[in-house]
Structure 1
Amino acid sequence: MEGKQFFTTQFGEKIELIPGYGDSTGFNKKKALAGKKLNEVYERLHYVEGSSINIEVDNFGRDVITYALLMDFLEDNGLLPKEGYNRSIDIGGREGIHAALFRAQHSKYAVSADLMDGNDPDFAEKMKKIIQNQKKHKWGEMLLEDNPITAPILGKLFPGKKSRRHMTMCGVEPSKKNFYNFNFKREADVDKFMVGDFLNTSVDGKFDMATCFLALCLIDYKKLVEKVSSMLEPGGVFAFFERYTWGPGPVTGLSGDFPYFEKRMTLEDIKKYYQEFKPDELEYVEKLYNHHDPTRTSIKQYVDHSYDAGLNLIAFKPLVVPFLSDTIDETYKPGDPINRDINAKEVLRDINHFRADIDLRDLFTSYFMMAFKKV
């Protein structure tokens, strides 16, 4: 015990501090930000005062991966009919990449809803260039991995090089069919951009498909699913690919010197920790904490809230990281926290003081996909 430091929660639990752990996780890690303070990180998150939605900006690489994974999920569960859908809406769609791809392949009319206006008059032309680039990647994967003549040669010339399709999410990679799907029925474009706070913006007409990619954790899900249900036709589908607030890995940008920092403590205890160890960043804690859904919706609550809103669960797939164990030991490597052992039972003990509905399965789930049908 000598030389060790601990943080004591409001529930009397002592959590051992691992020096340097907080610097290698979260948005405020020293190496990545080169000493920048939390206020600069806060500005990067595009937090919008007075809104129920907060905006993050991502890149196309992840967009096409998550899109293909959700299409695999929908196809596996019989939710991509040959006749397609009439009207679809993508929530938190930013510039409209997901909506445009779904329109090209599966929907006659597509809307992208976001707090910021992503409308770009050159979007359709840009999408054509992106698709051309995807076709190059398809040929590259074929030559590098599938062709019995070129694969051995290129493997020696470019050791370790892999297709971008292998940029997996929790070890799950999209199928070739949906990652390299260029069988478009119509132009990859967006018919309409719905701009504004989604919960408080009026919607024209009904939809038979609603999608969302990595944006639900920014919104109060109970309120959002009520809005989605009101927009769907009877039999309409609501499907999404989402990061899980209770799973491994940083979410808000808040970090401390032990695993699951932002998950295993209440906001009150997080403030207490910052007061003790990072007092110069304390003023940003509450805003960063509330950047994501402050209710911290659990998987069970996603199902329950949806059912209460008239949507029945028809498919579910968790993306699990199988690295947790029951002990902390010398296998911990500074700077590589994801590959260390974590005392999952202690983490769960701390969480259950204020959230009895969270169990070990929640701690293992990084992302998940769900599909609901309107009754």
Structure 2
Amino acid sequence: MMHFNNNSCFYRTPCSISSQPKKKVVSIPVHFVESERTRNNSAIKIQKVVRGFLVRNSMKRIKCIRVELEKIEDKVCVEETMELIMREGKERVKFSESIMNLVLKLDNVRVLDYYSGVRGYRKSVIQKAIALQELIDQIQMVGPTHHDQNQSTQVDPDVRDSYLVKCEGDVNAQDSYLVKCEGGVNAQDSYLVKCEDGVNAQDSYVVKCEDGVNARDSYLVKCEDDVSIRNSYLVKSEDNLYTRGSYLVKSEDDAYAYTKNREDLMDNGVGEESVGTSMVEEVEENCLVKEEVDQDCENKIGKEVNYENNKNKELLERMVEDNERMMNMMAQLFERNEMQTKLLSSLSQRVEQLERAYACDKLRKKKRRNVDAKHK
């Protein structure tokens, strides 16, 4: 319902006002505290970041060098590479140069004084490089000796420090008293007997051969039936036989005739003295030859032993010289490292002094500005 007021110059519209409670406002006090960093804390944080970067960089470089060393070690441990190092000196020089290059790279790696772990890691890698160089030198020095020994074993495996003859075909047994026959009998400086059908040959050197035999200063016997021989010279062969200082018999009939004639002569007392003297002469000759052969063998063995001893001495001397050279090299490297560490420490001290001087200069300028502002 509208009300008209004559006093007012305009009409008003009535409105309903809602009664609502006012919201309560709570004031929370907030105090802002500025995090002010001091100059020392900032410098410490900067130094920490820089040193961490330097340490990580040096560790990466040392690790890369260690990986290269391990690759070289794997190559050297291969048999083909070892044989190449033994045969050719160029390969050894190549590996040595690569190792020395890696050692020089390690020497150029910057290591801070504060971190002993990085220095120890670098030292271990240097020791690994030195051990690898010594391994290459030992392969080059020891390799030819093993090669010579293998050749010597392949050349004469049957006759070494002994008197050995194997009788299967044509046999030449000069100044020897050891016979190896088909049956596998082996006797050194002894009486060797081998017969087909039971031969008793005491105090004699016996050889059974199928073909031609050339036996110097030896007694040869071949029997097919039961025969008893004592201190005699009896030879039976199928082919041509040549015996020095012995009697030659070519067939069974001749052997039988020879033994029969000899018995007749012995019965008549003729030729007994000649047979005895011939036996004595042959025994003396055999003894002399045996002594000469023994002396020759002893001389040969002595020469071989002396030669091996001289070789071993030369190898040891060369190894000692190489070790001394490597030790001198390592001493020089350590001296250079010490000089570098001293230079780095002096440089760091100088940088700290410059930082302090710069800070002092800045403070002076600030004080002067404040004083000038107050006077104005």
TM-based fold match above 0.5: no
Q: Which has the higher contact order (CA 8 A, sep 6+)?
A: 1
Query: What's the TM-score once normalised by structure 1's chain length?
Result: 0.18
Whose strand proportion is higher, 1 or 2?
1
